[in-house]
Every structure is written in structure tokens, then in C-alpha cells.
């Protein structure tokens, strides 16, 4: 079970992580939290500020954030008409903060789950309600790494052939491993 999920029955799953795997995963999730940023109430999470906050109307300029929070209308590859831009801005204003909060909560949930291992390796068991949070967080990590590495679907096979001295190799290895972890979790909860 090293580094991949297995079914623990009833929609739950378990994964055995060594110390290095747990550390890598935790570090990546902490970086995800930094990328997503604090909620509308800031680091203190002021519930009143969050209640009255409106989200941004423009897509993020960071390509990774734009991938995590894409426009709901129009084609991102081509400039869209004014009506599509306005609809996308309106939709973003009312949905992005909630989406950011969910992604932030999922990443934080993974960090806290990993913290139960006490900085060492061990077996982590997730119940059926926790598995979707892990799936979301793993997906967000893969999307972000894919953007940072400029990976297109058709290029993925070439990642296995990178020379060892390629500077991207460690991140590519993390990207591929996260894909295997995500796939194993999907298989585990479908058993």
C-alpha cells in the first residue's frame, strides 16, 4: 500500500505514506494554501467581512489561479464577446469566494490529516466523507503543477522520458505521483 490508496470498505480508503511522501504532500498543500490566499476576512477569518464580501470580477492573472478559477462563460483561448465577458464577470463575483473557500478548506483538511501522522510516516484512513475532500485537493495540486510545468495532455507521455538533469524532474515526479494517488483513491472508494 506504500504511497497509494486502498479500499478500507464502505467508501473509505487508507494510504500508507512514508515520512518523505507525507512531507512532500504536506509541503505542496501548504504552498496551495499560500497560492489561494486568505479568505475575504483575511487571516483572522472575520465572518462579518466574509458575509458581505463580493468576489473579483476579473480572472486571476496568475495562470495557475486562472486554471483553478476559470471563467464560466466564453472560450479562454479566444477573446469573447462583450456579453460573455459581462456574464463571466458577474458569475465570478458571486461564486469565486465560495470556490476559493472550498479549495482552501480541502487543502487545509489534507494538511491536518497529514499532521495526525506526527511528522512521520504511517497509515492514514479516510472515511467516506473525507475522501472527496482529498480528491479535490489532489486535483487542485495536479492542475497547478500542470500549469507551472506547462503540461498539455498530449505531452504527458513525454514526462516519463525526461533526463535526470532536467530541472523540472522533481516537480514532474510529484505530478505523476499525485496522479497515481488520485487514481488510486478513486478506485478505492468505488470498490
Residues 122-163 have pLDDT tens digits of 999 999 999 999 999 999 999 999 999 998 776 777 788 888
Higher model confidence: residue 83 or residue 29? 29
Domain count, the chain: 1
pLDDT at 1: 45
pLDDT at 26: 97
Range from 56-65, 110-119, 156-165, 177-186 carrying the lowest mean pLDDT: 156-165
Q: ∠ CA 29-23-112 to the nearest 5 degrees?
A: 55
State how far Cα 78 lies from the chain centre.
26
39-96 per-position pLDDT tens digit: 765 555 566 665 566 777 788 899 999 999 988 876 655 655 778 888 888 888 888 8
Cell 505523476 sits at which residue?
A: 176
Higher model confidence: residue 94 or residue 105? 105
pLDDT at 38: 85
Higher model confidence: residue 39 or residue 104? 104
29: nearest Cα among 181, 184, 157:
181
Please state the rounded mean pLDDT for residues 91-105.
90
* 123 within 8 A of 14, measured Cβ to Cβ: yes
In which domain, by residue range, is 146 found?
5-190
CA–CA gap between residue 159 and residue 2 (Å, rounded): 22
H helices of the chain, in order, are 19-36, 47-52, 63-68, 82-115, 131-148, 169-190
pTM comes to 0.86
Higher model confidence: residue 107 or residue 120? 107
104: nearest Cα among 34, 4, 49:
34
pLDDT at 120: 87
CA–CA gap between residue 97 and residue 100 (Å, rounded): 5
Please state the rounded mean pLDDT for residues 114-124.
92
Amino acid at each position: 500500500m506504500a504511497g497509494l490508496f486502498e479500499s478500507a470498505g464502505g467508501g473509505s480508503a487508507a494510504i500508507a505514506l512514508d515520512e518523505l511522501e507525507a512531507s512532500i504532500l504536506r509541503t505542496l498543500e501548504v504552498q496551495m494554501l499560500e497560492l489561494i490566499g486568505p479568505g475575504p476576512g483575511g487571516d483572522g477569518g472575520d465572518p462579518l467581512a466574509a458575509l458581505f464580501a463580493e468576489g473579483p470580477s476579473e480572472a486571476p492573472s496568475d495562470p495557475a489561479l486562472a486554471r483553478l478559477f476559470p471563467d464560466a462563460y466564453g472560450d479562454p483561448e479566444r477573446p469573447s464577446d462583450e456579453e460573455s465577458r459581462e456574464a463571466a464577470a458577474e458569475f465570478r463575483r458571486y461564486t469565486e469566494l465560495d470556490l476559493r473557500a472550498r479549495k482552501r478548506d480541502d487543502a487545509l483538511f489534507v494538511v491536518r490529516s497529514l499532521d495526525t501522522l506526527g511528522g512521520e510516516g504511517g497509515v492514514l484512513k479516510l472515511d467516506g466523507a473525507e475522501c472527496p475532500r482529498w480528491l479535490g485537493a489532489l486535483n487542485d495540486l495536479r492542475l497547478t503543477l500542470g500549469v507551472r510545468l506547462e503540461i498539455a495532455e498530449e505531452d504527458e507521455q513525454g514526462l516519463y522520458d525526461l533526463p535526470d538533469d532536467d530541472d523540472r524532474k522533481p516537480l514532474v515526479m510529484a505530478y505523476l505521483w499525485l496522479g497515481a494517488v488520485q487514481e488510486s483513491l478513486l478506485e478505492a472508494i468505488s470498490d
